[in-house]
Structure 1
Amino acid sequence: MHATAEFELIIAMFLVIVGLHYVAQRLSLPPSAALIVGGGAVAFVPGLPAVAIDPELVLVLFLPPLLMDGAWFTAIAPFRRHMAGILSLAIGAVFFTTAVVAVVTKLLLPALPWAACVALGAILSPPDAVSARAVLQRVRLPRRLSTLLEGESLLNDAAGLVLFRFAVAAVLTGTFSLGAATGTFFLLVIGGVAVGAGIGAIWVLLLRRLGDDTLMIAATMLVCWSAYIAGELLHVSGVIAVVTAGLTCGWFQHVVFSASVRIRALAFWQVLVFLLEAAVFTLIGLSLRGILDRIGDPARILDTMAMPVLAIVAAVILARFLWIFAADAIVALLRRAGWVSARPLGGRAALVMSWAGMRGVVTLAVALSLPEAMPERDLMLVTAFTVILVTVLVQGTSLGWIIERARPAEDAAALPPLDLQAAEHAMFRAQLSAVEREAHDADGEVIHPQLLRRYRTRATAGEAFDGTADERNQAIARHFDVIIAAVEAGRAELVRLHRAGQIDDETLHDLEHDLDLEELGAVAAKG
């Protein structure tokens, strides 16, 4: 296909995405489900060329910015507090699901080598960050469950990808060492953390020196790909590198970004993430035609693959239930024995967590990267695509219903000491103190009475002023300087409360957004 035709096809795909999103909103359907179904339908439009997906390009193009977006807004304190639970899901559940799928596959296909069975399990085991984000944005979960699911989606791809690479190498070479694989896994993780922290530190130092808003946003956009590519080039986990860099940048953005950069960067990222997420699900649907073309006869899927594929899909879903309920029962027993202070999730929350195991682009991309020499490669491709369809279309669309019926309780220990209203009062007190310091002259006379009466408008201040144009402009500038100082004081108080663990990330972002808008208005009025 000519390059111009490929570009026209991409534009057409984004137009279809907008239409499918609109239809999903009108029908109250999850956009991810509408995009997969719509992409699958578009793939069979007569005259449309088959879409060939390069799995390596998919991973490096889509995964870093979507992981970065998730890590950027991850609450650090709850993330650390629930690290044991997150690792249990991101590593323990991935390894357990891989083992269950490998055993079930070996029982169904005895001739298939164990390493190939493990490779299939590694492909299907990690829930997808993109699919999780798409669903979690539409439901309301208790903070603890939201933190666990978001943390799992950020870290589990690393475990799945490492398992997959070792299993494929074992198939091709016929050798495998559990000790070497375990040691390599921890080296990949530690190396990814180091690379991501280094990229994040460079970003913080760089942004302190860049004075242009556009350059700062561009530098921020490139962090995710820089971290991922650097990690892969250094043979460590690029996924962990991106997550670490995103956590670092999200932590420091409150002190290195100006209000204008934060507002513009947020708008830019929202559009970028929307297009990338939508493109991911559409490409999953479009890839259906390529898989069917490879199989040749669709009847072959029903005749020879239907039973093993359905059995493996059931194993993937049940393995998550087994791991989460068993782990929660162990925590409950250890807590009764006084050995741990962690609280079990409870049956209702465990049900929701077990049902929230959607697969997506990582599963598809890794499946498509299987070497041609892999035994039963066609079966693995069909199984991967079926798992994606079932988990997104069935689990993803019904998760909201499950949450409404289960009604998992909020963990009181997960709530911050201050709620939104208390944090807002603290911010207002800090602003008032800043205004009072600047609103009096050396003799103690009030020189900015309008600020003490909830900020008079520029026009009112200008009409009330009696003097020359230059004196009037200077007075207006001083007026808005005090407003800007008040905004800075309020932001500093919010950051202090956040760093002290008194407020959560959601409260910080909400109130900081209000301050950013107030500061932009003051800067514009002053100018």
Structure 2
Amino acid sequence: MIAILPVIIGLHYLANRLGLPPAVPLLGGGCLMAFLPGLPAFSPDPELILVIFLPPLLIDGAWGISVRYLRKHIIGITSLAVGAVLFTTLVVAAVTHWLFPSLPLAACAALGAIVSPPDAVSARAVLQQVKLPRRVLMLLEGESLLNDATGLVLFRFAVAAVITGAFSTTQALGSFAILALGGAAIGAAVGVAWVLIGRRLQDEYLVITSALLVSWAAYILAEQLHVSGVIATVIAGMICGTNQYKVFTAAGRVRGIAFWTVTVFLMETAVFMLIGLSLRGVVERIGGFGMALEQMAVPVLWILLALLVARFTWIFLSDGAISLCRLLGMKRYTPLGARGALVLGWAGVRGVVTLALALSLPEDFPGRDFILVSAFAVILCTVLVQGTTLGLLIRWTGLVPPESDKPRLSMSEAEAALMQVQLQVVQSKAYDEEGKLIHPQMLEQYRKKASIYANYAGQESVLAPTVHAHFDVVLEAIAAAHAELIRLHKVGDIDEHTLVELQKNLDLEELTALAIRT
């Protein structure tokens, strides 16, 4: 794990220089590391991998998701997270059974459930590199957060059907409802508990630590009670994210964002490295690359094709159904259109959940070797091919965020509105009860700032060069102060406490200047 860290830094730097999604070189680097001479074989415990990595990464996505837009697009998200996963599972199961008639249908369904849900971690790693209309982005984010629950339920029932030889559709639907509702209830309870406890901790480090623990608390508690840990984590994250401003102080938010950003970065990058490192065990189990290419290459290509066709079919049929409803007078919903549907279909990237489910299959499970190879091939192809070409596809289709995606106020207009509110408060406090001005400099300062912000709003393109030049000088002055502060400490004129406190003040000044400049 320690050796992986410098590799992550190097590969992520390479991705930035080449303009690639970071997942691509990280996954490739992990695959290469797996076969380096002298390195031990990596055989992860799939349940452990899921518990360690999945909850924090899920809650990070849920924490910042817009609940308002999630409610607005809940039908589309449900269609993808439940309908598309179920349909894809059935299609892949049918194709697998056609390829291997002797393989039990339940085992074929298990493969379908493993490869059908796009992965939240992989999806975000790809989506960070592209700019999409808000509706498409919300559909992809919402799908990736919720579809794992559908895939996990289908997988468990398929495995149970292979082992017991029995399957009940009614029981499966009832169990899915219990898992989903139970998970939502656990997540809501954990989220509310964090809000209540966090407001009483009165220590930013404790609040940050407790926020990290929320993800594992929701996931593990739900799994122990045999309901959906994925849904529990997502619901807890949404509640915490909505109420974060009631819990965090300004200093807590600054420190928390810094801590959480680095934590999520390390977890995301480590996941792709671990997926790549797992390749060696898969290859050795089936007898080497030669055996895989000779016996499984063609069937795996059929599975990949079935996966793509199923996803595109479901998305285009759903969009067509919306268009038909509009023709019949039901105009509440608007179709994505061919370009949006094409991008939505191509963005189905698989990752850690697919690998963990495949590795968790019992040793004597029918067709286990083929399922492992297929799962790994799906991850490689979706990340390396779809992940690298999604940006090209978006540019080729000309899919850009529409004007309706833009908020009513621009950034500068919102800043001007906030400054007017601050000015009103200062004006109300600048005079004593007798009407005497007691804070003249503060009042003048806020009047001047309010005027500057008001003049800047709507004229960004004209005034931006002047603003940039102004804050370039401010940043140079702060840099000079940094250097002088270090010199004063070095010669012994100030102690460590003074150094830390003044450094903190300069850092906040620099962050403010950078934020305004950009």
Q: Do the two structures share a fold, i.e. TM-score over 0.5?
A: yes
Aligned to 2:79, which of 68, 88, 99? Answer: 88
- Once the two structures are superposed, what CA deviation does each residue of 1:306-339 show, in whole Å capped at 9, x if it has no partner? 1111100111111111111110010011012112
Q: SS of the residue aligned with 1:244? A: helix
Structure 1 CA distance for aligned equivalents of residues 323 and 437 of structure 2: 62
Equivalent pair of 1:120/1:380 in contact (CA under 8 Å): yes
Distance across 2 between alignment mates of 1:281 and 1:63? 12
Please report the TM-score for the alignment, with normalisation by the length of structure 1.
0.84
Residue 418 of structure 1 and its aligned partner are, at CA, apart by 3.6
Equivalent of residue 104 in structure 1, options 95, 101, 109: 95
Query: Quick one: distance in 2 between partners of 1:204 and 1:325?
Result: 41
CA deviation vs aligned residue, 1:14-71 (integer Å, no higher than 9, x gap) = 1111111111112222210000111111111111101111100011000000000000
Is the 8 Å Cα contact of residues 119 and 144 (structure 2) preserved in structure 1?
Answer: yes
Partner Cα separation in structure 2 for residue 25 and residue 413 of structure 1: 31
Letter aligned with residue 276 of structure 1: M
- Measured in 1, the distance between the counterparts of 2:445 and 2:161 equals 70
| Aligned counterpart for 1:29 among listed residues 2, 8, 20 | 20
Q: Which ranges of structure 2 fall in alignment gaps of 5 or more residues?
A: 448-506, 513-518
The letter of the residue matching 1:189 is A
Q: Which amino acid aligns with 2:344?
A: M
> Secondary structure of 2:200's match?
coil
- Residue aligned with 2:2, SS: helix
1:349 corresponds to: 340
Q: Is the 8 A contact 1:259 1:517 kept in 2?
A: no
Report the CA distance between 1:426 and its aligned residue.
Answer: 2.5
Paired position in structure 1 for 2:251:
260
Pairwise CA distance, 1:409? 4.4
- Give the length in aligned residue pairs: 453
Residues 492-527 of structure 1: CA distance to partner in whole angstroms, max 9, x if unpaired?
A: xxxxxxxxxxxxxxxxxxxxxxxx968x99xxxxxx
Report if aligned partners of 1:78, 1:414 keep a CA contact under 8 Å in 2. no
After TM superposition, give the deviation of residue 12 of structure 1 in Å. 0.8
The alignment partner of 2:274 has SS state of helix
AA aligned to 1:325 is: F
The answer for the alignment partner of 1:447 in structure 2 is 438
Which structure 2 residues correspond to residues 93-492 of structure 1 after superposition, within 5 A? 93-411=84-402, 414-454=405-445
Q: Displacement of 1:361 after TM fit? A: 0.4
**Deviation of the 1:239 alpha carbon:** 0.2
Q: CA RMSD in A?
A: 1.7
Q: Over residues 363-420 of structure 1, what are the superposed CA-to-partner deviations in whole Å (9 max), with x where a residue is unaligned?
A: 0000000111211100000000000000000000010111111122435555544443
Asked whether the equivalents of residues 23 and 269 of structure 2 are also in contact (C-alpha less than 8 Å), the reply is: yes
| Distance (whole Å) between structure 2 residues aligned to residue 352 and residue 150 of structure 1 | 14
Match of 1:43 among 34, 39, 47: 34
| Paired-residue identity, % | 59
**1:6-21 equivalence runs, <5 A:** 10-21=1-12
Q: TM-score, normalised by structure 2?
A: 0.85
Shift of 1:423: 2.6
Query: Unpaired runs of 5+ in structure 1?
Result: 1-9, 457-515, 522-527
Contact 2:195–2:240 (CA<8 Å) still a contact in 1?
yes
d(CA) in 1 for partners of 2:436, 2:237 = 48
TM-superposed CA distance for 1:187, in Å, is 0.9
Distance 2:327 2:435 in 1: 64
Work out the CA distance in 2 between the residues paired with 1:77 and 1:166. Answer: 34
**2 CA distance for matches of 1:376 and 1:83?**
36
**Cα separation, 2, equivalents of 1:88 and 1:417:** 30
The answer (yes or no) to whether the contact 1:349–1:409 under 8 Å persists in 2 is no
